[in-house]
C-alpha cells in the first residue's frame, strides 16, 4: 500500500452518505478508510442500484481512466441480486464522467410475474447471478492487475441456499481471500449490533460505518 494514490469505491446506499437520517450520516466506511490511508477517494456508489451497475461502472471507470489501474485500491460493496439495473435515458442523477445512467427494478415489485414462471428456482438463480457478477469483476481486476477488496453489503444470496454441484464449482472460483468478513454482511452487522440510522432505517449510522471501516483497515493491514 506504500504507492497507493487513490481509492475507487462502488456499491449501493450502504456506501453512500445519508443526509436524510437523524442525525445525518455524512461519512461512509470507505471514506473513513481513505482518510485513514491519507489518499483521495472517488465514490461511484449510488443508492438503490444493483450489481450489474456496480460491475459496469467500475469497468467503465478504469477503461476511461487507464492510468488509474496503477496504484489504486478498489473497494467493492456488493448489492442484492434481486435488483435489476437497466440503462435509462434519464439525465438526472447521472454520475460525473459517465454517459451511461441506470435505473433499477426489484423482484419484490414483480411478484405476480415471477409466480407465473414455471418451476423458477429463485434462490439458486439469485446465487448464480451474484456469483457471476463477482467472477466478472474479479477477472477484470486480476487481468488488469488492479488491487481490490470486496465485501457483501446486503444479504448474501450465495450462502442463503444449498448450492448445487454446478454452483459450488463456480463459487470455488471466487477468491474469498479478497473479501472482508466473507461470512458476514454489513447489513446483518448493523442489525445485529443496533448500528442503524433508526428503528425503520437499517442503513449504517456513523458508528455503523466507523466499525465496518475498522474491519476493512484491519484486513488491509494484514493482507
150 bridge partner residues: 76, 179
106: nearest Cα among 45, 153, 48: 48
Q: Which helix (H) or strand (E) holds 122?
A: helix 122-143
Mean pLDDT of 178-204: 96
The burial of 40, by beta-carbon neighbours within 10 Å (0-12 exposed, 13-18 middle, 19 or more buried), is given as exposed
Question: Could you give the CA distance from residue 100 to residue 80 in angstroms, rounded to a whole number?
Answer: 20
8 A C-beta contact, residue 218 and residue 46:
no
pLDDT in tens, 35-74: 999 999 999 999 999 999 999 999 999 999 999 999 999 9
pLDDT in tens, 189-199: 999 999 999 99
Which of the residue ranges 11-15, 48-52, 176-180, 196-200 would you say has the lowest mean pLDDT?
Answer: 196-200
> Is residue 131 scored above 90 in pLDDT?
yes
Q: Grid coordinates representing 127?
A: 446465487
Mean pLDDT of 172-196: 98
Q: What is the 3-state secondary structure (H, E, C) of the chain?
A: CCCCCEEEEECCHHHCCECCCCCCECCCHHHHHHHHHCCCEEECCCCCCCHHHHHHHHHHHHHHCHHHHCCEEEEEEECCCCEEEEEECCCCCCCCCCCCEEEEEEHHHCHHHHHCCCCCCHHHHHHHHHHHHHHHHHHHHHHCCCEEEEEECCCCCCCCCCCCHHHHHHHCCCCHHHECCCCCCHHHHHHHCCCEEECCEEEECHHHHHHHHHHHHHHHHCC
> Is residue 1 scored above 70 in pLDDT?
no
Domains contained in the chain, CATH given? 6-221 (3.40.50.1110)
State residue 110's pLDDT score: 87
> Is residue 81 scored above 80 in pLDDT?
yes
Mean pLDDT of 154-158: 96
Q: How confident is the model at residue 92 (pLDDT cuts 50, 70, 90)?
A: confident
Amino acid at each position: 500500500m506504500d504507492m497507493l494514490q487513490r481509492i475507487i469505491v462502488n456499491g449501493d446506499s450502504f456506501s453512500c452518505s445519508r443526509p436524510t437520517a437523524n442525525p445525518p450520516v455524512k461519512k461512509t466506511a470507505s471514506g473513513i478508510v481513505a482518510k485513514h490511508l491519507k489518499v483521495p477517494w472517488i465514490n461511484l456508489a449510488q443508492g438503490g442500484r444493483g450489481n450489474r451497475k456496480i460491475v459496469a461502472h467500475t469497468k467503465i471507470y478504469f477503461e476511461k481512466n487507464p492510468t488509474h489501474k496503477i496504484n489504486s485500491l478498489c473497494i467493492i460493496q456488493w448489492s442484492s441480486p434481486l435488483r435489476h439495473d437497466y440503462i435509462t435515458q434519464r439525465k438526472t442523477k447521472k454520475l460525473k464522467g459517465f454517459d451511461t445512467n441506470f435505473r433499477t427494478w426489484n423482484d419484490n415489485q414483480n411478484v405476480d410475474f415471477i409466480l407465473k414462471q414455471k418451476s423458477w428456482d429463485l434462490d439458486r438463480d439469485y446465487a448464480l447471478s451474484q456469483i457471476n457478477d463477482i467472477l466478472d469483476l474479479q477477472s477484470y481486476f486480476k487481468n488488469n492487475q488492479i488491487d481490490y477488496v470486496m465485501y457483501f453489503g446486503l444479504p448474501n444470496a450465495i450462502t442463503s441456499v444449498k448450492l448445487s454441484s454446478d454452483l459450488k464449482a463456480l463459487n470455488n472460483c471466487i477468491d474469498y481471500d479478497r473479501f472482508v468478513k466473507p461470512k458476514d454482511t454489513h447489513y446483518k452487522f448493523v442489525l445485529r449490533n443496533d448500528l442503524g440510522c433508526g428503528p425503520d432505517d437499517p442503513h449504517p449510522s456513523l458508528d455503523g460505518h466507523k466499525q465496518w471501516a475498522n474491519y476493512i483497515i484491519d484486513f488491509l493491514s494484514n493482507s
